[in-house]
Structure 1
Amino acid sequence: MLNYLKNMIFSTSSKMITYADYISTALYHPELGYYMKEGKKIGTGGDFITSSNISDVYGRAVAKWYSEIVKEINLPAKVCELGAGNGRFATAFIDEWKKLTDTPLTYFIVETSPYHRSIQQELIELGPVCQQISALDEIEPFSGMIFSNELYDALPVHVIEKKDGKFSEIMVAESTGKLIELAVPLQNSQITTFLNEYDLELQEGQRIEIPLQMAEVVSAIAKTLEKGIVVTVDYGYTNEEWEEPSRRKGSLRGYFQHQMVDNVLERPGEMDITSHVHFDALIKQGNERNLKFIAKLRQDEFLLSAGILDVLRDHFDPNPFSATSKRNRAIRSLIMPDGMSAAFHVIAQAKGLDFPEERILIERLS
């Protein structure tokens, strides 16, 4: 991958590429990209862990919550998950749905990674209930729920910095066989437009990531969804939170064998690269495309509203080593204030619902 990136840089007239191009290549190159090639990414043997993979109770709780939504606002029993990873959430959701109701479920997985597609096929019985697809337009128009967990944080981003009152874009170049950063005057008008449209103020000396590709994803979801809800789970900041002194260096990070790596130019193609989501921009982009903002909650608040405590209350086992006790500890880790859920938020958006249906959805999230 390193040699590929060097050749990519040398082939440009400026001898440098944007961070967005670097991240896109490092993560999504068809053969060399981190997400695309073979190798475990999620879990103890991988590089990172997601909240939906701590326990199957996460998928089960969301299945219970959505089954009740389907009944109350008459939505189709259809779900589309964007980027299902190892398929553990989908498996738990589908299994719980079958226990809860006789209503037939259709579950689509949008997955571009050949590796994850193969892992999902080993875990999930594909057929009428669960189908893998490559893009949202394959199911357009769609009514139901579109769900994603840690999708936007993995998008390629540009990096800019404010110094002496002026903006620079941080580019990726090569020097003595290594990848380095190079600051150049900001010339990308799309970045300037993003700053202006979404009221993003940078402090002197602040660095931040600009997710231009986020609008493409939001547009694709809005174009596909005819009637239903969008549930987005991710970590990120509001504009006000971006202005806090602790955010001055931005949020771009790598993860290798569960260790955080500050320099994402290390180990290209071998580690995960991530940045925090711009929540205010995501919500506004949705509103601009008829995805009406309904609620933003911490993940623990969402799971509590989804009834995760019912599972904890109804199942107790004094044996601390039993599967039940292990699951109950996982539940506690998802809802405790100092657990990982505190870093995640759930954004709910709706399209094509009338006022009573929106009100019911809001009540279900409060």
Structure 2
Amino acid sequence: MENVRQGPGTGWREATEEALYGPHGFYRRPEGPAGHFRTSVHASALFAGAVAALLCRVDAALGEPAELAFVDMAAGRGELVSRVLQELPETVAARVRAYAVEKADRPEGLDHRIEWRTEPPAGVGGLLFANEWLDNVPLEVVEADADGTARLVLVREDGTESLDAAPLDDELRGWLDAWWPLPAEPGLRAEVGQPRDEAWAAAVRTLERGLAVAVDYAHTRGARPLFGTLTGFRDGRETTPVPDGSCDLTAHVALDACAVTPEARIVSQRAALRALGVAAGRPPLALASEDPAAYVRALTRAGEAAELTARGGLGDFGWLVEPVGLPGGALLVDVADDEEQ
């Protein structure tokens, strides 16, 4: 990362790209993301079951084609795509062509049915699913200086920051004006999500017909965080973001800015999973005496469902749902969000 060590630093976008995806970056480590933070995929097999149920809905909407694509964006070590294949009915699984899209190398022992790629396949029909991908797409950070003028934040490898003296370029300024107007108050920060908008649009365009879903911690234009959300994670704990390859670097996603299709809808993970059959209700106590083992299994399932749908936790994730060449009904676009129920 010599480009970061010299001078006042570089923008967070370039520094993050090297720190996460460079030859010695965080995501090249053998333990993978699961060694440092817990996602919905790692929390419970119920999540993969829900994604499998959604893939079955897409299959039906497509008329049960001879080949059905499941594209797992930012696949990590292939945990989600592997579990989805296990959860699918055999009649559907036999027609699924599974893709894991990831910059890291293919892990040993991965199911032979999974094609490992660095880019999503083009012209396919099916479900493209991006769980916690966009929050790791590098972006620039800006901050209002002492005069209230928005400046690019520069960072060195040790995490030391400074503000660029040059004015923001037109591209950065245009995105901020449209999606994250920054008040002229010293110290306020914004994260310029244009690279994520472009990455998501490119992914959606690979679908000929089907459904694209992006799942992430998110915010919308009416409630942007005043000081941004850039942070780091290491060994399961939140830490100061330092672009030296030692930690994950992540920032919440402006999902409303990412939306591509007119039919796009953002719903909470809580609402989406409920619509896909993930329920957190406690099993009836009578089952404890009738079938104790079944009661324990049901109780465990309820606890896992509660974690996936919890307020203040995984349930607060946003699901950006984008039908491509398909009607939205039964594909979560018409799901009432939990605040509406």
TM over 0.5: yes
| Aligned mate of 1:109, from 76, 82, 100 | 100
Q: Where does residue 265 of structure 1 map in the other structure?
A: 242
* Cα displacement (A) at 1:179: 4.3
- Deviations 1:203-258 (Å, cap 9, x if unpaired)? 5231111123213312321331111110111011101111xxxx222100001112
Which structure shows the higher helix fraction?
1
Closer, same or farther: CA 303–312 of 1 in aligned 2, 3 Å: farther
* Cα displacement (A) at 1:40: 4.1
1:87-98 superposed matches below 5 A: 87-98=78-89
Q: Is the 8 A contact 1:319 1:325 kept in 2?
A: no
Q: Where does residue 16 of structure 1 map in the other structure?
A: 9
Q: Is the partner of 2:305 in helix, strand or coil?
A: helix
Closer, same or farther: CA 72–313 of 1 in aligned 2, 3 Å: farther
Question: Which residue type is aligned with residue 182 of structure 1?
Answer: S
Q: Where does residue 232 of structure 2 map in the other structure?
A: 254
Q: Where does residue 141 of structure 1 map in the other structure?
A: 123
1:122-137 superposed matches below 5 A: 122=109, 124-127=110-113, 130-136=114-120
- Deviations 1:292-325 (Å, cap 9, x if unpaired)? 3332111011000011239986998745996664
Compute the RMSD of aligned alpha carbons.
2.8
Q: Is the partner of 2:209 in helix, strand or coil?
A: strand
In 1, Cα distance between equivalents of 2:128 and 2:103: 16
TM-score (norm 1): 0.80
The percent identity for this pair of structures is 22
What 5-or-longer segments of structure 1 have no aligned partner?
none
Q: Is the partner of 1:135 in helix, strand or coil?
A: coil
Q: Is the 8 A contact 1:75 1:144 kept in 2?
A: no
Count how many residue pairs are aligned between Structure 1 and Structure 2.
327
Q: Where does residue 331 of structure 1 map in the other structure?
A: 305
Q: Is the 8 A contact 2:36 2:237 kept in 1?
A: yes
What 5-or-longer segments of structure 2 have no aligned partner?
337-341
Does 1:213 find its partner at 2:213?
no
Bigger shift: 149-158 or 196-205?
Answer: 196-205
Q: Where does residue 188 of structure 1 map in the other structure?
A: 169
- Deviations 1:313-365 (Å, cap 9, x if unpaired)? 69987459966643432122112435x22331111012222xxx233435763
| Aligned mate of 1:27, from 20, 23, 44 | 20
* Cα displacement (A) at 1:23: 0.8
| Aligned mate of 1:344, from 304, 307, 317 | 317
Q: Is the partner of 2:331 in helix, strand or coil?
A: helix
Q: Is the partner of 1:35 in helix, strand or coil?
A: helix
Q: Where does residue 47 of structure 1 map in the other structure?
A: 36
Closer, same or farther: CA 106–256 of 1 in aligned 2, 3 Å: same
Q: Is the 8 A contact 1:56 1:88 kept in 2?
A: no
| Aligned mate of 2:134, from 144, 149, 152 | 152
- Deviations 1:10-62 (Å, cap 9, x if unpaired)? 56xx54211111111110102x10001323431xxx22110121011110122
In 2, Cα distance between equivalents of 1:333 and 1:320: 20
In 2, Cα distance between equivalents of 1:75 and 1:309: 27
